[in-house]
A and B are shown apart, each in its own frame.
Chain A
Amino acid sequence: DAGVTQSPTHLIKTRGQHVTLRCSPISGHKSVSWYQQVLGQGPQFIFQYYEKEERGRGNFPDRFSARQFPNYSSELNVNALLLGDSALYLCASSYGETQYFGPGTRLLVL
């Protein structure tokens, strides 16, 4: 079975721009979570969606938003990008207690 897929793999943006990151979960998984991993740190929880409903939100500003589609894929949107948003953005899907991570999207904000 295919694992969690994310697109794009790499992205370069400038301050103030908007970005959309995409994630496709493992087939049969209805829950998708997003994490931000800044260089040298552990992943930080941003959002979780289950059955298209937001089930959890981490300590991130309103510039961050997400949604889940009927096919359980998900988008993470970040508006008004700041230099500090440069990070690896990880998507995870789950069915039960275990989260399976995708390869991530590396975002560089210049």
Chain B
Amino acid sequence: AQSVTQLGSHVSVSEGALVLLRCNYSSSVPPYLFWYVQYPNQGLQLLLKYTSAATLVKGINGFEAEFKKSETSFHLTKPSAHMSDAAEYFCAVGRSNFGNEKLTFGTGTRLTIIP
């Protein structure tokens, strides 16, 4: 079974400050890991993904995440927060099995940017 834990349901940072959203996973097989962002009243947009290649993954909008197997973590970071980053962020774990790509999501972290 696979699971994801997102530490901190709400995170507030000042505009221009570092963004750090935490995600820890559990998986009995090598995982695929994803970060999605959800703006109010919208669907999910893929930010970035880890699929067993480079452990440091760069995504859209200046976000990046580092896969650390020893810590079972996949934390999301952005060096300088922008007002437009305010949204809900979801970490998800899946597996490499073509035609069977069920994702298990965390409970989400709401990011607030303080002007």
User: Which A positions have Cβ atoms within 8 angstroms of B?
Assistant: 4, 31, 33, 35, 41-45, 48, 50-51, 55-56, 58, 90, 92, 94, 96-104, 106
* B46 pairs with A45, CB closer than 8 A: no
CA distance A104 to B105 in the complex (A): 16
Residue of A at shortest CB range from B96? A97
CA distance A62 to B101 in the complex (A): 22
* B105 pairs with A42, CB closer than 8 A: yes
Chain B residue contacts of A55, Cβ below 8 A: 99-100
User: Which B positions have Cβ atoms within 8 angstroms of A?
Assistant: 32, 34, 36, 41-46, 49, 51, 90, 92, 94, 96, 98-108
Which one of A44, A96, A98 lies within 8 Å of B46 (CB-CB)?
A98
CA distance A59 to B55 in the complex (A): 32
* B34 pairs with A42, CB closer than 8 A: no
**What would 29 A/B residue contacts be, using CB atoms closer than 8 Å?**
A31-B101, A41-B108, A42-B90, A42-B92, A42-B105, A42-B107, A43-B103, A43-B105, A48-B101, A48-B102, A50-B99, A55-B99, A56-B100, A90-B44, A96-B101, A97-B49, A97-B101, A98-B34, A98-B46, A98-B49, A98-B101, A99-B34, A99-B94, A100-B46, A101-B36, A101-B44, A103-B42, A103-B43, A104-B42
